[in-house]
Amino acid sequence: MKRFNIQSPQRTIETMLVDKINNLTKPKGSLGTLEDLALQIGLIQQTLSPELHHPQNIIFCADHGIADEGVSVSPKEVTWQQTIHFTHGGGGVNFLCHQHGFGLKIVDAGVDFDLPYQQGIINMKVRKGTRNFLREAAMTSEEMDLCLTRGAALVKMCEDEGSNILSFGEMGIGNTSPSSIWMHLFTHLPLQQCVGAGSGLNNFGINHKLHILQQCVDNYRGDGSAADIIRYFGGYEMVMAIGAMLQAAQDHVIILVDGFIMTACMLAAMQLYPEVKQYAIFGHCGDESGHQLLLNAMGAYPLLHLGLRLGEGTGAICAYPIVDSAVRMINEMESFQKASITKYF
């Protein structure tokens, strides 16, 4: 399996960062989360004057064999239809990228369709959809390694284009199912608390989904390691996102984490390399059942609560202006000394 070298940010600069933040013209702590973000970003970049360059959103697209079991209200063909739709600029992720100045990369990680790559879709297809993990492993070890490697390569591509902050999104009908199983197996929360409506299941549909996923967990006969659980239940787009997150952390690139599926991917990435979390900013708490519980279990504090559950990276992109504000705070606010203002706290 592809290896990464992820180290915690060095803390030698921390005292100087805290001192700079505390001596801006405001009461200590009065800008709350902005101060926390400025400290985190300063540590990631190892500078007292952090900068954000060329934000991009990578959306990974793939199909899931488990969708054949009726665990999603949306038909499978929506994956390829939406993937093509993104290239036309009319999706939810598109207007937010336009609004906030994000580049957008659309990646075929494993869509069950022959996509028109000439329209700008990046072809990194591993296979036309994962296998049905009710009956067998979703992917082979070789396919998992390929996903990690290709996800890492996409981050390198973005870095070559000047990016030092990235968000990741997904498109894949059925992908809340592997996310729920990862959540259950990695946090040990009851499966029932991890399973929600996905793209809109009613109560009957949720109960059916829970029943199917419980069978999947009961049928699992792997070795129980984090890597094996990721391989057995994961989607190609999800494991590719894990590879991207791990490469970003290795290279000290800021990771904006999106909704339930991408939070589950960060959870899985943490099982392999716990240090990856220190490079992550959690954009929002979505409306998918279990997302708040998952964030709580990870000790993660999201920036926004907007009731979103679209995926695609939309919530992470919505949170970007707050991150930008934190960087502007530490760079553009004057110190008490420079402004000739007496400290008033």
Q: Work out the pLDDT band at 264, boundaries 50, 70, 90.
A: very high
* pLDDT tens profile 61-92: 999 999 999 999 899 999 999 999 999 999 99
| Strongest mean pLDDT among 112-116, 197-201, 334-338 | 112-116
pLDDT at 345 > cutoff 80 = no
pLDDT at 198 > cutoff 80 = no
d(CA 160, CA 337): 39
- Residue 343: both structure tokens together: 């400290």
* The pLDDT of residue 111: 98
d(CA 213, CA 265): 18
Residue 35 dihedral angles phi and psi, to the nearest 5°? -70, -40
* The pLDDT of residue 6: 98
CA of 142: how far to CAs of 1, 153, 175, in Å? Answer: 8, 16, 21
Residues annotated as catalytic are 312
* pLDDT tens profile 304-313: 999 998 999 9
Q: Work out the pLDDT band at 10, boundaries 50, 70, 90.
A: very high
Q: Work out the pLDDT band at 119, boundaries 50, 70, 90.
A: very high
- Of 153, 184, 155, 157, the C-alpha closest to 168 is 155
The H or E element that residue 322 is part of is helix 314-332
- Taken in order of first residue, the domains within the chain and their CATH numbers are 14-50+329-339 (no CATH), 56-323 (3.40.50.10210)
pLDDT at 261 > cutoff 80 = yes
d(CA 29, CA 36): 9
Per-residue pLDDT, averaged over 317-339, amounts to 97
